[in-house]
Amino acid sequence: MADRTAEVGLSTDLLRTPDLNEDRTEELMTVNIGPHHPATHGVLRLVVELEGELVRGVKPIIGYVHTGIEKSCEDKSYWKVIPFVERMDYVSYFFQMEAYCGAVERLVGLEIPPRAKYLRTIFLELNRIHSHLVWLGTTALDLGAISMLWYCFRERDKILDLFEMATGQRMHTRYFQVGGVIEDIPVGFEQKCRAFAEEMPIRVGQYEALLDRNEVFLQRTKGIGIVDRERLLELGVSGPLLRAAGDPWDLRKAFDYLAYPEVDFKIPVGTVGDNYDRYRVRVAEMVESASIVRQALDLLENGPFIADDRKYVLPPRSELSTSMESLIHHFKLVTEGYRVEAGEVYYAIEGPRGELGCFVLADGSSKPARVHYRDPSFVNLQAFPEMALDSYVADMIASLGMLDPILGGVDR
């Protein structure tokens, strides 16, 4: 090289590499990301300390979509609380309903009939697939895999069609009731749902074909955002994040609720706990959920879809015109609601993001004295500064996507 410069008559001075460290300072730069930023998956504000491109500290600031739902619930009778809680974590509304309805059922000691158990299981698992699809689409979008969003939302739309067919609503369905579900599934739902559950594993295979051998995706996710399992447990992290770190902890297996003890499914776990494992665990969960839906459809037997206790459950519409008793029950339930004997219950289920717990305190009146949600996104967000520490800004965004926080649930 040097002799060639002499040949063309260039001064060696010009070819000298400039000093790249000339402008570098040791000083940290504080950058504000959000609250309105497409990569924060909601209204989340991050105050980031940067050394060049490296993240040296993150502080998540939350509360921008706090709407006081827990407070509002205290002013509503038990059955009117259901639409409120659905709107906390707006992607996993069936889970929010199940946590609340399950807690109230435990408070009043109401058994739900078998058909309702299976129906609830079916809808919860469809909702889990839906939630993971939203996560996969938007997170892949953050990593530059734009087409994933369209594929994921195509399947998500099919799930929403199923919800609409059974409940009349695509989101926030208010389908679960204390005692069961509000109405039976319509004719044709079973076939449509089964067709979807058969198709879903094939679709998941297609997503994997798009991402699993995508060099950009692999480099952006492998070895990024690792927090070890013990630390995750200390931070109270649960759900796919914990399982990706190799801990097979799943409340569906640990505690018996709904139809989960009767269906056969596996708990996917990761090994290292990096972003790639988080992706793998969630994708594998979608296949397992589809299998649970199929099994629950097989086990679905005819029978009542809601408990027969007229003190808590609305009488069937047809009885209102013939039975005075039913009319009185209906009137009392709709106007005042039912009273619940004083007591408190904490009921936790496995949501798509981890342990979703609902605490309900009854004081003997027809309104709950306290409704509290232990939201997995809220608790998991505490692990985010450690996931993002000493990584690049772009990887911080990837880690946030892989954490999958829903800010409606964080802020409530």
Partner 1 sequence: MPDAPGLELIRGEIERDHPGAVLATSFDRGQAALIADPEQILEVLRWLREEPGHRYRFLSSLHGVDYLPADPRFAVHYELLNRDRVERVRVKAMLADPAAEDALPAIDSCVELFPTANFQEREVYDFFGIVFRGHPDLTRILLPDDYVGWPQRRDFPVGGEPVTFTYNERRYG
Would you count residue 396 as binding partner 1 (CB under 8 A)? no
Binding-site member from 165, 345, 393, 394 for partner 1 (CB under 8 A): 345
Pick from 103, 138, 121, 250: nearest CA to 181: 121
Locus of tokens 């409340």: 251
Q: Which amino acid is at 302?
A: N
Q: Does 309 bind partner 1 (CB under 8 A)?
A: no
CA distance 239 to 355: 6
- Asked if 68 interacts with partner 1 (CB under 8 A), we say yes
Question: In whole angstroms, how close is the CB of 265 to partner 1 at the nearest point?
Answer: 18
In the complex with partner 1, the residue whose CB is nearer, 107 or 134, is: 107
Question: Of the two residues 75 and 336, which places its CB atom closer to partner 1 in the complex?
Answer: 75
| Of the residues 208, 262, 309, 344, which one makes contact with partner 1 according to CB under 8 A | 344
Tell me whether residue 246 or residue 343 sits nearer to partner 1 (CB atom): 343
Ranges of beta strands (E only) in 247-380 are: 343-351, 354-362, 368-374
Binding segment toward partner 1, per CB under 8 A, in 58-66, 83-91, 143-151, 391-399: 58-66
Q: Least CB distance from residue 364 to partner 1, whole Å?
A: 11
Residue with tokens 């450690």: 386
Asked if 225 and 237 touch (Cβ cutoff 8 Å), the reply is no
How many residues of this chain bind partner 1 (CB under 8 A)?
40
Among the listed residues 379, 388, 398, 406, the single contact to partner 1 using CB under 8 A: 379
* Interface with partner 1, residue 381, by CB under 8 A: yes
Q: Does residue 339 bind partner 1 (CB under 8 A)?
A: no
360 binds partner 1 (CB under 8 A): no
- Nearest distance from residue 254's CB to partner 1, in Å? 5
Q: Contact between 361 and partner 1 (CB under 8 A)?
A: yes
Residue found under tokens 């879903």: 200
Spatial separation of the C-alpha atoms in residues 282 and 240, rounded to whole Å: 6
CA torsion, ordered 269, 124, 121, 300, to nearest 10 deg: -120
Q: Do 407 and 383 form a contact (C-beta atoms < 8 A)?
A: no
Q: Is 279 helix (H, G, I), strand (E, B) or coil?
A: helix
List the interface residues with partner 1, window 78-107 (CB under 8 A): 106-107
Told to check if 234 binds partner 1 by CB under 8 A, we report: yes
d(CA 101, CA 78): 9
Buried/exposed 226-236: b ≥16 CB within 10 Å, e otherwise: bbebeebeebb
Asked if 170 and 159 count as a contact pair (C-beta separation under 8 A), the reply is no
Among 378, 388, 399, 406, indicate the residue that binds partner 1 (CB under 8 A). Answer: 378
Peptide bond into 35 cis (omega under 30): yes
Q: Contact residues for partner 1 (CB under 8 A)?
A: 62-63, 66, 68, 70-72, 74-75, 106-107, 109, 233-237, 249, 254-255, 343-346, 348, 355, 357, 359, 361, 363, 369-370, 372, 374, 378-379, 381-382, 411-412
